[in-house]
Each structure stands twice: as C-alpha cells, then as structure tokens.
Amino acid sequence: MNIDNSLIKYFTHQSLVKINTEYVLYYQISLGAIAFETIGDPEQTVNKLKDLKLALEPNDILENFFYVIDSITNVDNLEKKLNKRAMIHALNDFVAADDELLNKERFLQLKIKDIEDNLFFNSKMKMQFLSEYQSMQNYYNNLLTEDFATSIKEKLFL
C-alpha cells in the first residue's frame, strides 16, 4: 500500500469532521491553558484571550493537516502529530500576540518541549476536551458537507 492509499481514509466526511473537531479543541484548550499559566487568574485569562482575538481561520486546519501529511513518515501517527501541531499552533499564536509576555523565547522552548514530551495536555485538559467534543463535532458535522470531502479527495487522489 502506498502512502496515498493509506491517506484516503482521512478524507471521508466523518474523518474530516473528526480532524477539524479535534484540531479546534486542542487549539482552544491549549490556548486557554497557556494564557492561564502566564496570568494565573481565570477572569483575567478570559479578558486577555478576548483582547488578543486569537482564532483559527477556516484554512488553518487544512493547511496544518497537509503540513503534517507532508512531514510524516508513518501514517499511523498522523492524528497524534496533528494534535501536537494544534497545541504548538496555539502556543505560537499566543506568544506572538502577547506583548506583555516576558522571556518569550524561553517560554516557547519550554512549552514546545512539554508538548513534544506529552507532558503539556494534562488530565484536566482531557476532561475539558471530552466535555466539549460532542458540541464541536455537531458544529463541524453541519459545516463540512459530503460534497466538500469528496471534492478534496478527488483533487488529491484522482
């Protein structure tokens, strides 16, 4: 089986909904955790995130999905790589946008190491992920159509 055939399964409607749901949740939950870690106060964290206006653009998820596909050697770990990419994406966006953050480069390096070592996304974050999953999945299930999935698959594999 060549890599193209092994990737086809990721371009079904159901799979694209799952990928988008997980990417957004990993991004948002990570963003909240990173902001809270730098501020330490829940209310100020919410205000900071509102002020920074960080949000994923519609093409961000697909661009990062294609980046991960292009960079992997083993398709079996694609979802784990994409989830790590979402966490790093949130980290990079936050560090770039927060002008008040001190020692940005050091903070960035430490957090990337935690993400790469699977130490960042803790059990509290996993619980939040699970509690928000269904509503986010419903959103993407309605947003992404079967035609959208088919058109992407046709452009890439035919």
pLDDT of residue 1: 32
Q: In this structure, is residue 155 part of a structural domain?
A: no
Spatial CA neighbour of 27 closest among 75, 67, 74, 84:
84
> Does 156 map to a domain?
no
Identify the segments of the chain with pLDDT beneath 50: 1-3
Predicted confidence at residue 92, as pLDDT, reads 97
Cα distance between residue 153 and residue 139, in whole Å: 21
Residue 65 in any domain: the answer is yes
The verdict on residue 154 lying in a domain is no
pLDDT given at position 153: 82
Whole-number pLDDT of residue 4 = 60
Examine residue 126 and state whether it is found in any structural domain, yes or no. Answer: yes
Give the number of domains in the chain: 1
**pTM of the complete model:** 0.92
- Domain range holding 14? 3-148
pLDDT tens readout for residues 53-69: 998 987 889 899 888 88
- 116: in domain: yes
Cα separations (Å) of 46 from 2, 76, 108, 123, 133? 46, 36, 21, 21, 20
Q: Does 89 map to a domain?
A: yes
Q: Is residue 158 part of a domain?
A: no
